[in-house]
Amino acid sequence: MSVDVQLRAITGASEAEERFLKDSMLLLRTAVSGSGFGASVRNALYGYTGWSGLAETREMSGEEIWDRIVMGRECGSTGDHTLDLSVEIVDMEGIGETRLGTPPIRMARWFLDKCIESGDRVNMAALLMHQWMHVSGFVHSPHNIGHDAPSIVAMLVRRALETDFGEEIDAQITALLTLDTSSCGCHPRQRHHAA
Ligand SMILES: [Zn+2]
């Protein structure tokens, strides 16, 4: 079973930023449709796998996490085997600030431009994955920074691309993505709405 990625809309981006986002989306498609990706998601070691549904937040198994990804299930969607991405580029301090279960993915212009400067499409693909996980309903835990489902699956995207695109990866950008979830508002307590 294979999963596709589609960039449905981009707002707030210059032509160059838009081109880079499209290129990064293609890498994300390469990563998630790769033969070993499903197994890596199912078998990863997660510190926290909270998913906020309509009524409650519960933890999901690796199987369930992969099921949402391979089905392309955004919150409230039955699944079309496609990760649907809408991206809004915003001037803000943090890196990403997507509202739980709610497109568009919101990301900082400074971070996008930093990736463009470094030519690092791999980490941009990883960030798109991280933020899609929020659109799908997955949340962060303050106690498992770097080990919750959005962070781990983003790391798996980076790892999947390492062999072919490793030269692009900027270690400083990797560190920013790994260590900082503070700007991400997607915690169970602060959730907006999800279905
Ligand atoms: Zn996040």
pLDDT band of 55, cuts 50, 70, 90: confident
Residue environment code for 170-187, b if the CB has 16+ CB neighbours within 10 A, otherwise e? beebbebbbeebeebbbb
Angle at 23 between CA 97 and CA 75, to 5 degrees: 40
Q: Which amino acid is at 86?
A: S
Residues recorded for the chain: 195
Residue 191 has a pLDDT of: 44
Q: How far is the CA of 77 from the centre of ligand 1 (A)?
A: 20
Q: How far is the CA of 39 from the centre of ligand 1 (A)?
A: 22
Largest CA distance in the chain: 44
Q: How far is the CA of 123 from the centre of ligand 1 (A)?
A: 14
Q: How far is the CA of 127 from the centre of ligand 1 (A)?
A: 9
Residue 185 has a pLDDT of: 67
Q: What is the pLDDT of residues 128-151, one digit of tens each?
A: 999 999 999 999 987 877 899 999
- The pTM score is 0.94
Write out the DSSP string of the chain.
Answer: ---EEEEEEEES--HHHHHHHHHHHHHHHHHHTSTTHHHHHHH---SB-EEE-SS-EEE--HHHHHHHHHHT--TT----SEEEEEEEEE--SSSB-PBTTBSSEEEEHHHHHHHHHHT-HHHHHHHHHHHHHHHHTB---TTSTTTBHHHHHHHHHHHHHHHHHGGG--HHHHHHHHH--TT----GGG-----
**CB under 5 Å of ion ligand 1: residues:** 150, 184, 186
Question: How many C-beta atoms surround the C-beta of residue 72 within 10 A?
Answer: 21
Q: Looking at per-residue confidence, does 178 or 107 come out higher?
A: 107
Q: How far is the CA of 34 from the centre of ligand 1 (A)?
A: 24
Q: How far is the CA of 140 from the centre of ligand 1 (A)?
A: 6
- Domains along the chain with CATH numbers: 4-190 (3.40.390)
pLDDT band of 182, cuts 50, 70, 90: low
Angle at 105 between CA 100 and CA 111, to 5 degrees: 120
pLDDT band of 195, cuts 50, 70, 90: very low
Q: What is the pLDDT of residues 57-88, one digit of tens each?
A: 999 999 999 999 999 999 988 899 999 999 99
**Paired tokens of 160:** 């999947």
